[in-house]
Amino acid sequence: MELLTKELEEQFPQLYTTEDIPLEEKVIAAKFFTPDSNWTWFAVEGQRTKNGDFLFFGLVHGFEKEWGYFTLGELEELRGPMGLSVERDARFTGKKIKDIGKD
């Protein structure tokens, strides 16, 4: 599965455009995960970089939960402990950060 389709890319708010929205109120545009580990990336903003990559800002659940930047290139290169690549949750629909895990 393609991690970032053109249609999905167009739905992302540009970087820094949601700065005035409290972190827990930010809306997740895409969810990425490794099927063979507990890592999940909740992307809320993003845009193309000069080198053609796509830079995301979002919440990363890994060893800890932290906000930060990650690129499409990084996600495409990552492999979990069993060698599985990162996937996008195609059924995920925009939720606020505060609503993660409430279903």
In a domain, 76, yes or no: yes
At residue 1, does pLDDT exceed 80?
no
| pLDDT value of residue 2 | 92
In a domain, 78, yes or no: yes
Residue-wise pLDDT for 29-81, tens only, equals 999 999 999 999 999 999 999 999 999 999 999 999 999 999 999 999 999 99
The string of DSSP codes covering 62-99 is SSSEEEEEEEHHHHHH-B-TTSPBPEE-TT----BGGG
Distance CA 59, CA 65 (A): 7
Q: Which helix (H) or strand (E) holds 10?
A: helix 6-11
- Structural domain boundaries enclosing 24: 6-85+94-99
How many domains does the chain fold into? 1
| pLDDT value of residue 102 | 63
| pLDDT value of residue 46 | 97
- Report pTM: 0.93
In a domain, 44, yes or no: yes
